[in-house]
Structure 1
């Protein structure tokens, strides 16, 4: 083989090897990145009921019918829906999320709040003291809530193992990066850690629309 032939063969082998290394390198980076991404779910307006209010709205000993499971273990949306009423308007077909809770809680977006004519605070789930009042109408009766309506804060559910992997702690505030045509940084995202949680980020429809999120994406957590 001539010198020129050997050099040509060498370059071909080198290029083939580099292409293989590059291809595997990209694949490995993608796998590592995906391992540190967070799935996101979009939460439309919904309501969690306490036992007393469930009985007023639907009747004593009423059993709710599962619609579908949601991202957190043991929680599911129900076929049953209610109407919520504010000073300016009302919204029908607000879905119930089960199981029942200690206190009735309604989660809406800021856009919903403006339409209803209420001013709910941005809160963690369960932090309802001094939150907005609303009326709830069911097939059997009505409930006038003195408090219970909130705009849920942006948050990420994760297990202790997930928290260790991401290097975060319970109640820590983080940023999340979103790619795409309307991508950007989402600030003030609360970490929630429990051995009852599955990894998932929850945002409302206002945030989803602002960033072009459909609820099938994986987002980047930034501490």
Structure 2
């Protein structure tokens, strides 16, 4: 068993885009730590503007990344008027873009909007204990009235990761899953 977490829409920004949106030499302000070591939710928020609509107040996650990436649900894609592909984090080639609006500027993304593929972060020792390896695809079973089996769950094993499954809010709501609830790995 391992804990699950519902990942709401958020954005990872490059330092260049942070400075465009918030000002030169700007540093993100930590709001709270996330489950993965060194990762945090920032105080800063931005608006996403698509061809059909706007989503206001999208949380920025830190620290700065090498490339800006927006992670939304498929339902958010309808609001914005874009069709985010379901991808592993960092795999943004050929994905749609949106306009990002901050207090001091705007960034017109050409690509970088995805619906993150469901995945499990785990320390390498957890992977060994579960009998799985990095980049393996497995199944995960939830419990309760709306129990489901999630297929094609990516294992992301690294010595700096903490054990947690990440799914987006749409998927979590469909299974009536709450943050911190335990789920079960199924290895075929």
> Secondary structure at 2:171's aligned position in 1?
helix
- Is 2:88 the counterpart of 1:143? no
Deviation for aligned residue 1:68: 0.6
Deviation for aligned residue 1:180: 0.4
Number of the residue aligned with 1:196: 160
> Secondary structure at 1:93's aligned position in 2?
strand
Indicate the structure with greater strand content: 2
- Is 2:156 the counterpart of 1:161? no
**CA root-mean-square deviation:** 0.6
Q: Is the radius of gyration larger for structure 1 or structure 2?
A: 1
Cα distance in 1 for partners of 2:88, 2:150 equals: 17
Q: Which has the higher contact order (CA 8 A, sep 6+)?
A: 2
Deviation for aligned residue 1:159: 1.1
* Aligned counterpart in structure 1 of residue 65 of structure 2, from 91, 101, 109: 101
Cα distance in 2 for partners of 1:124, 1:184 equals: 21
- Is 2:187 the counterpart of 1:213? no
Indicate the structure with greater helix content: 1
* Aligned counterpart in structure 1 of residue 4 of structure 2, from 26, 36, 40: 40
Deviations 1:153-184 (A, max 9, x none): 00000111101100001111111011001112
Deviation for aligned residue 1:216: 2.1
Runs of 4+ residues over 3 Å off in structure 1: none
Deviation for aligned residue 1:52: 0.8
Number of the residue aligned with 1:177: 141
